[in-house]
Amino acid sequence: MKTVVTLLAVEELTVKFGGLTAVNALSFAVAAGTIHGLIGPNGAGKSTVFNCLSRFYEPAAGSISFDGHNLLNAPPHGVVKAGIVRTFQNVELFRGMTVLENVLVGQHSTFGGSFFQDMFATAKARAQEKAKREAALTTLELLGIADTANAYVGSLPYGKQKKVEVARALAANPKLLLLDEPAAGLNPQETYALGDLIVDLGRKLGVTVVLVEHDMTLVMRICDQITVMEFGRKIASGRPDEIRCNPAVIKAYLGEGEDIA
């Protein structure tokens, strides 16, 4: 039997904004090497959870353990070095830079080098720059967009821009990839291809994924486990087949007597 290793554990997480409780005593665990869906109606608190995992928000209570360490001890700029990288609902790329340059930006936390070495282009600095470019191109090849390396991001169709954002995130060699509505704005064909890509990343790179997404077809197709939120609380958790027919989930999304699929 395969040993299940918990990579991320959220316990009794509570987030408040003044008198509003956005996340209320939320607990869930993510096993290493899996795709975990975090879903719920608009306003459920999903993005707030992501902002806590990214250390943009400070919770009022609860704990977050990542890879055996207390994530709440890490500063926001230390999250990437800890192994957590995220994408955003709206594409956040440097549109006036090329695809390759955008991906190289994602490597800033994985390569060292002194100001002196970079300023005088020492042999070590040149070797490191070459390694950066080769690694970035390998990532672009993995996502099937190596042919766009020298194209400006702003000239690409939206679906490819989404892939560039994923490539930039992967350039940091994360253990955990947080995808915030990656299918937003994509057509059904692009969404299906995106699902295959996310599954492929887990198999080839061993990256664990937590996915916030409203496209239920995508979520049910690729996720190993799903946590469902409503009004800041967890109302269900389990495998896709369990979530699909869970009465509390069906009621939260559609009202009584429907199937979420």
Q: List the pLDDT tens digit at each of the 261 positions of the chain.
A: 567 899 999 999 999 998 899 999 999 999 999 999 999 998 899 999 999 999 999 999 999 999 999 999 988 888 988 999 998 877 778 888 999 998 988 776 555 554 455 554 566 766 767 888 888 888 898 888 999 999 998 898 888 898 899 899 998 889 999 999 999 888 999 999 999 999 988 888 889 999 999 999 999 999 999 999 999 999 999 999 999 999 999 888 765 444 554
* CATH number, domain with residue 18: 3.40.50.300
Domain-located, residue 89: no
Domain-located, residue 88: no
Q: Are residues 41 and 108 in the same domain?
A: no
Domain of residue 79 covers: 1-83+174-261
The SS3 assignment for 224 reads coil
Domain-located, residue 91: no
Q: What angle do CA 244, 67, 129 make, to 5 degrees?
A: 105
Q: Are residues 169 and 41 in the same domain?
A: no
Q: CA 140 from chain center: how many Å?
A: 17
Q: Are residues 118 and 238 in the same domain?
A: no
End-of-domain residue from the set 173, 202, 222: 173
End-of-domain residue from the set 138, 173, 208: 173
Q: Are residues 1 and 72 in the same domain?
A: yes
Domain-located, residue 38: yes
- Taking alpha carbons only, the member of 157, 160, 168 closest to residue 106 is 168
What is residue 199's DSSP assignment?
H
| Cβ neighbours for 253, distance < 8 A, ≥ 6 positions apart | 41, 216, 260
End-of-domain residue from the set 173, 188, 205: 173
Q: How many domains does the chain have?
A: 2
Q: Are residues 9 and 117 in the same domain?
A: no
Host H or E run for residue 210? strand 208-212
Q: Give the separation between CA 129 and CA 151, rounded to whole angstroms.
A: 20
